[in-house]
Structure 1
Amino acid sequence: MSTQGVLGHLESQPRRRQEVPPQQSGLEKIRATVHALVIQRDQLKAKKEANKTVQKLGSDDPDQSTRGGEGPGEGEEGSDGSLYSQLLQLTARHAQLTDRLHAHQLIGGYDIIKTRQGKGVCVSMATSYEGVYLERYSLEMSVAPVVRIVRHDVPTFVPLARLAEKDGALQHHLKGFLEELSRHLDGYAGRRQQLRLLKEQHGSVEVMEGNVPCSLLVLCLTVPRTPPLEDIAVLCKLDYSDRTRCLPEEVTVQSEDEELPETSQWKDICTLLKETPLHKAVATLIQRGDIK
């Protein structure tokens, strides 16, 4: 079954409740990653080699194999026939890569390989944040008799079953299902990366509380005050209720100084934290002297 045929089969299957099985094996995850890189490399290489061969064909003299006393056997290897044969092979390879690219585009740019002797497919999705590629997640799906998820390594807190069942997305709107799932994975990867960068770059900020999806964070910020007043601690709670996003929907602060959260300064700080990635917002607050 060709990749296009598999995709067509995916889109035409009837509705059935999705079953969530054990995690995908590490070997197939590695294969999915390697496959994505090979496609990109081979496509560029095939185009480059084809262009070089065409240029060589245009510059070669058809009679060069008979010059300089070469015999028929010696001239055959460097003949135009051999070069044309190479060009045909490159053209065939290029056509194969074009077919793969088409399949790649059909499912929204995700990497896909056939599994189970053509009876299933493995879709691989890479997450990224600020141009840096992070974790990669994969789904293996059976295509017969209905589309169902066989194995995956998607985090358990991502509502995979709900996304698959919503409006029959897995059976009838595969591309939309993958796009929504990708948004959840990118949101999680982005939040986790921001938290990682915060800990690496700003050790003075203590993370008091956080959950696995990084959708709720409580930070302890130290606010400097002019002596003889002592510095004061402020608890800052960031709530990422929309788990497809990297920015919090709500930011609240608590302090021993009950008037502090109501000041215009801290209202502006809450706005900054809602509109700016966490590690960058903290860097700004430290630079301005709002916190230590």
Structure 2
Amino acid sequence: MMENTIECPREGVLSHLDVLEMEALKLSRRQQLSLQQQSRVDDLRIMVEKLRAQRDQLKARVKTTMSLQQLKAVIDQGPEECDDDGEEEGCSGSMQLHLLLLKARQTQVKYLLQAHHVIGGYDVTETRRGQGVCVSIATAFEGCYLETYNLELDVTRTVRICRHNIPPFIPLEKLVQENLQTDLSNFLSTLSQHLNAFAGRRQQVRLIQAVLRGSVKVMESNALFNTVVVMCTELGENHRAVLCTLEYTDLSRYLPTKVTIESEDKALPSSPQWKENQSLLLETPAHTALQALKEKGQIA
């Protein structure tokens, strides 16, 4: 025998089916309500976990703030509360430990501020919870901002480079060996000179290709842009082609250390006009010098 037996009305089978349908509908509604309640419980459980996490964070902040206030009071009072024999009168061992940690933190921040000014105003950011600093070196040419390079320094024991995005053709290892440990300011200054010189040489080639397109052609350049070969055409009866090779042996400069002039006319490089043009290329950025030659009507 089934419990809760439903008595079938005498009207017939159809009435009995109607009753079963109503019971099924009630059961479905109860199941849906149960699912909704379970979903609501799950949502509330997640909310409770988030609130607990926020509570723990707030407790940690309050505790840290109170500790710093207490330590500040100790600093303001000075070390006179502890006698010369080292016996503690008002300073507990835990408080002394916190005081040492705070002083270390103050020293660290002081060094960061000093580094920002001493190393030329580079942006300095603390990393890895005080175990390192990230130095950003911006490059520019003729007032135009170009790329920014970064290197992370580990300062836990000896200063060493952890990560960086310095181009591989920059002599970084040589600069590190020269003065990273002995003179950080000089190291960053020299590295900045190399990066800005590289950016300047590359920007000159870009400007030649953009501004002097159709007049001057860049025939050759390498990744470091310390050798650049350009070809131009001398204005005159023969329209002779002139090849200018710019060599940058000093990688900390954006001006060439040597300029070689070549042409089919063997006498052209030694002519007074091209001797003067050679000096101009040595003393002026390449795109500016070539633009000046074009404006003077010396090249096409």
Superposition deviation, residue 99 in structure 1? 8.8
Task: Give, as a single letter, the amino acid of the residue that structure 2 aligns with 1:246.
Answer: Y
Structure number with larger C-alpha Rg: 2
For residues 98 and 176 of structure 1, the distance between their equivalents in structure 2, rounded to whole angstroms, comes to 20
Residue 231 (1) aligns with residue 236 (2): no
Residues 99, 115 of structure 1: CA spacing in aligned structure 2 closer, same or farther, 3 A cutoff? closer
2:281 paired residue number: 273
1:130 deviates by 1.2
CA distance in 1, matches of 2:291, 2:113: 42
Matching of residue 209 in structure 1 with residue 228 in structure 2: no
Q: CA deviation at 1:197?
A: 1.0
| 1:74-130 alpha-carbon deviations (Å, 9 max, x no partner) | xxxxxxxxxxxxxxxxxxxxxxx9996544102221111011111011000001111
Tell me, yes or no, if structure 1 residue 198 matches structure 2 residue 208: yes
User: Structure 1 vs Structure 2: percent identity of aligned residues?
Assistant: 48
Q: Is the aligned partner of 1:249 residue 2:257?
A: yes
* Residue matched to 2:66: none
Structure 1 unmatched ranges of 5 or more: 1-96
In 2, Cα distance between equivalents of 1:205 and 1:175: 40
Change (3 A) 1:119 1:98: closer
Cα distance in 2 for partners of 1:274, 1:205 equals: 17
Provide the residue aligned with 1:284 in structure 2.
292
Q: Distance in 2 between matches of 1:242 and 1:262?
A: 25
Which of residues 206, 225, 229 in structure 2 aligns to 1:218? Answer: 229
User: Which residue number corresponds to residue 105 of structure 1?
Assistant: 117
CA distance in 1, matches of 2:252, 2:115: 26
Q: Aligned pair in 2 of structure 1 residues 127, 239: CA closer, same or farther (>3 Å)?
A: same
Amino acid at match of 1:153: N
User: Which of these residues, 167, 170, 183, is aligned with residue 155 of structure 1?
Assistant: 167
Structure 2 unaligned segments of length 5 or more: list them.
1-108
In the superposition, the TM-score normalised over structure 1's length comes to 0.63
The one-letter code sitting in structure 2 at the alignment partner of 1:130 is E
Report the AA paired with residue 233 of structure 1. A
Q: Secondary structure, in 3 states, of the residue corresponding to 2:278?
A: helix
Q: Which residue is 1:86 aligned to? A: none
Q: How many pairs align? A: 191
Deviation at 1:185, TM superposition (A): 0.4
The more displaced of 268-277 and 106-115 is: 106-115
Deviations 1:213-258 (A, max 9, x none): 11101111111222xxx31111110001111111101111111100
- In structure 2, what is the Cα distance between the partners aligned to 1:100 and 1:160? 23
Preserved contact between residue 119 and residue 189 of structure 2 (Cα < 8 Å): no
163 and 98 in structure 1: CA distance in 2 versus 1, 3 angstrom threshold: closer
Structure 2 residue 293 is the aligned partner of structure 1 residue 258: no
Other structure's SS at 2:181 match: helix
Aligned partner letter, 2:227: L
CA deviations 1:188-234 (Å, max 9, x no partner) are 011111111111100121111111111101111111222xxx31111
2:124 aligned with 1:116: no
Amino acid at match of 1:174: L
Equivalent position amino acid for 2:157 in 1: P
Choose which of 244, 248, 257 in structure 2 pairs with 1:240. 248
SS in 2 for 1:258: coil
- Dislocated runs of 4+, deviation >6 Å: 97-100
Amino acid at match of 1:245: R
Instruction: Please report how far the alpha carbon of residue 131 of structure 1 lies from its aligned counterpart in structure 2 after TM superposition.
Output: 1.5
Deviations 1:121-180 (A, max 9, x none): 1000001111121100011011122211010000111111110111xx111210010001
